[in-house]
């Protein structure tokens, strides 16, 4: 019985909505705009968070880097400063690698160039290729994978071999589609190298291109990309992800010994975890989330006022209908439910339209930054809940007013 009454009230609500189509559509879009702003911006923020995490973990998941490099990051009113001390020398990097006995992959590497030219026969690239000098463990700690060929061997590094691993973009641009790059010789900067491997594509995640890269043995960098006070960095990947914090503490203690620091001296190097900067940026996205929520709630407050106004007008216009229904035996509670359901249905229609538009806008941002499609279930449920609240709040007072109308006075209403 209750189910049949509910269905009947919803049917009457839909009929009334169709009767006042223009006002209903305007109200639905007022509600939808607020939900669209909320769901759209929050979905876009989720996409940005995912892209940031992915981008900054490209240096290798569950990895930390020991480095000495000046860097100042300004986000809002906060400044994150990393000190610029003496560079890490080749001797210090090698000494650390020998002394660090924790179960982990340890890689010594250096950035040879960010603007090298790659040549092969008649092909010559723009000066935009990144050249990294690494060892046999570098690709693992940096999150690379070999698609074709092989990685460096320890003997390649020790013997200063002229071999190179090339990124997908370099392979695609320098070689014809059906041409195998392996064992062919290319020029990178001033050196001539034999291609022993092609790296798997990592795309443009988060706007960071990582496929226009050449990796050569770091011992070879000292010959062809030599410069005074060359800075080295050390990547460390623990055997187990849960050991990341413990291994970074161990590494800090050992590197302090390598740097000959006294107990009272502060660190003159940086230890950066793979997701540290991403988390720092994500933390500051909370202000954008707060702004989006305020915009959405203000718009929904306007929707509450608009929907309540429409429902009050509807009560006035349908006074005679209410009197007729009461004269035929309809109870006040039934009249109240009818108008309350009508407001709730309008609110839920606004939720559906707003959620769909929000998903489209949010995922438009996601696709633009190269992230994956997101179905924001959390924000969908939030939107439905908010619009249910809008319907109840804006429909309750008009519904009570309708239920309290005197049937005799209502029938005489013109």
Cα dist from 326 to 2, 12, 19, 313, 337, whole Å? 19, 15, 21, 19, 13
* 38 & 115 share domain: no
Domain boundary among 226, 251, 273: 273
321 plus 260 within the same structural domain: no
Q: Are 299 and 354 in a shared domain?
A: yes
Question: With bands split at pLDDT 50, 70 and 90, how would you rate the model's confidence at 43?
Answer: confident
Average pLDDT of the chain is 80
Q: How far is CA 131 from the centre of its chain?
A: 28
Q: Mark whether 238 and 298 lie in a shared domain.
A: no
Residues 155 and 234 in one domain: yes
- The predicted structure's pLDDT at residue 315: 74
Instruction: Tell which residue, 168, 164, 149, 145, has the closest CA to residue 217.
Output: 164
pLDDT of the residue at 412: 59
Which one of 253, 273, 293 terminates a domain? 273
Winning range, highest mean pLDDT, from 20-29, 49-58, 178-187: 178-187
The answer to whether position 297 is within a domain reads yes
Q: Is the pLDDT of residue 300 over 60?
A: yes
pLDDT digits (tens, 9 = 90+) for 85-117: 568 888 999 999 999 998 899 999 999 988 899
Query: Quick check: helix, strand or coil at residue 167?
Result: coil
Q: Do the domain assignments include residue 128?
A: yes
Higher-pLDDT residue of 386, 203: 386
Average pLDDT over residues 401-408: 71
Which of 52-56, 165-169, 244-248 shows the highest mean pLDDT? 165-169
Query: What's the pLDDT tens digit per position in 338-385?
Result: 778 888 888 888 888 888 888 888 888 777 766 777 777 887 888 888
Q: What's residue 83's pLDDT?
A: 47
List phi, psi (to 5°) of 264: -80, -10
Q: Are residues 181 and 328 in the same domain?
A: no
Query: 273, 300, 333: which is the final residue of a domain?
Result: 273
149 band by pLDDT with thresholds 50, 70 and 90 = very high
Q: Are residue 209 and residue 290 in the same domain, yes or no?
A: no
Number of H helices, E strands in the chain: 14, 14
7-34 per-position pLDDT tens digit? 776 777 777 777 777 777 877 887 888 7
- On whether both 14 and 98 belong to a single domain, the answer is no
Q: Please check whether residue 278 lies inside any domain of the structure.
A: no
80 or 177: which leads in pLDDT: 177
Q: Which residue has the higher pLDDT, 176 or 54?
A: 176
Cβ burial of 20 (10 Å; 0-12, 13-18, 19+) is: middle
Tell me the residue range of the domain where 158 lies: 61-273
pLDDT of residue 78: 53
Q: Domain total for the chain?
A: 2
The reply to whether 361 falls in a domain is: yes
- Counting beta carbons within 10 angstroms of the beta carbon of residue 378, is it exposed (0 to 12), middle (13 to 18) or buried (19 or more)? exposed
Confidence (pLDDT) at 208: 45
Residue 218 lies in a domain: yes
Report pLDDT for 393: 81
Give the pLDDT confidence score for residue 414 in this predicted structure: 53
Per-residue pLDDT for 217 more than 60?
A: yes
pLDDT at 133: 94
Within this chain, do residues 206 and 303 fall inside the same structural domain, yes or no? no
For residue 279, tell me if it sits in a domain.
no
The pLDDT of residue 107? 93
**Same structural domain for residues 264 and 117?**
yes
pLDDT digits (tens, 9 = 90+) for 274-290: 666 556 666 667 777 77
Same domain, 247 and 291: no
Regarding beta strands 123-124 and 129-134, do their DSSP bridges make them parallel or antiparallel, or are they unpaired? unpaired
255 and 117 co-located in one domain = yes
Task: Tell me if 280 is assigned to some domain.
Answer: no
Residues 6+ apart with CB under 8 A from 37: 292, 295, 296, 299, 358
319-327 helix and 332-368 helix, angle to the nearest 10 degrees: 130
């Amino acid at each position: 019985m209750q189910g049949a009454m509910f269905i009947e009230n919803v049917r009457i609500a839909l009929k009334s909505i169709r009767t006042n189509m223009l006002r209903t559509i305007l109200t639905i879009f007022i509600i939808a705009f607020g939900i669209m702003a909320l769901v759209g911006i929050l979905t876009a923020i989720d996409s940005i968070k995912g892209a940031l995490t992915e981008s900054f973990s490209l240096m290798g998941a569950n990895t930390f880097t020991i480095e000495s490099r000046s860097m100042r990051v300004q986000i809002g009113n906060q400044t994150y400063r990393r000190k610029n001390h003496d560079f890490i020398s080749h001797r210090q990097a090698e000494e650390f690698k020998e002394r660090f006995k924790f179960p982990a992959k340890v890689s010594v590497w250096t950035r040879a160039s960010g603007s090298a030219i790659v040549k092969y026969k008649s092909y010559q690239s723009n000066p935009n290729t990144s050249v990294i000098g690494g060892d046999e463990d570098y690709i693992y700690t940096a999150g690379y994978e070999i698609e074709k060929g092989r990685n460096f061997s320890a003997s390649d590094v020790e013997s200063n071999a002229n071999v190179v691993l090339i990124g997908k973009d370099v392979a695609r641009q320098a070689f014809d589609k059906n041409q195998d790059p392996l064992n062919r010789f290319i020029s990178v900067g001033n050196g001539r190298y034999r291609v022993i491997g092609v790296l798997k594509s990592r795309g443009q995640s988060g706007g960071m291109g990582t496929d226009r890269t050449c990796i050569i043995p770091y011992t070879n960098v000292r010959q062809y990309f030599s410069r005074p006070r060359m800075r080295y960095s050390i990547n460390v990947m623990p055997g187990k992800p849960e050991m990341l914090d413990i291994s970074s503490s161990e590494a800090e203690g050992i590197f302090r010994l390598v740097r000959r620091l006294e107990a009272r001296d502060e660190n003159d190097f940086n230890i950066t975890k793979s997701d540290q900067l991403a988390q720092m940026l994500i933390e500051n996205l909370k202000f954008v989330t707060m702004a989006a929520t305020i915009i959405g709630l203000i718009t929904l407050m306007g929707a509450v006022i608009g929907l309540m106004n429409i429902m009050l007008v509807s009560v006035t216009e349908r006074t005679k209908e209410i009197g007729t229904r009461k004269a035929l035996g309809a109870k006040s509670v039934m009249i109240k439910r009818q108008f309350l359901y009508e407001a709730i249905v309008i609110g839920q229609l606004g939720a559906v339209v707003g959620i769909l538009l929000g998903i489209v806008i949010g995922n438009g941002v996601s696709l633009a930054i190269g992230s994956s499609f997101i179905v924001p279930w959390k924000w969908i449920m939030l939107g439905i809940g908010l619009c249910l609240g809008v319907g109840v709040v804006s429909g309750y007072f008009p519904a009570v007013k309708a239920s309290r109308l005197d049937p005799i006075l209502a029938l005489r209403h013109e």
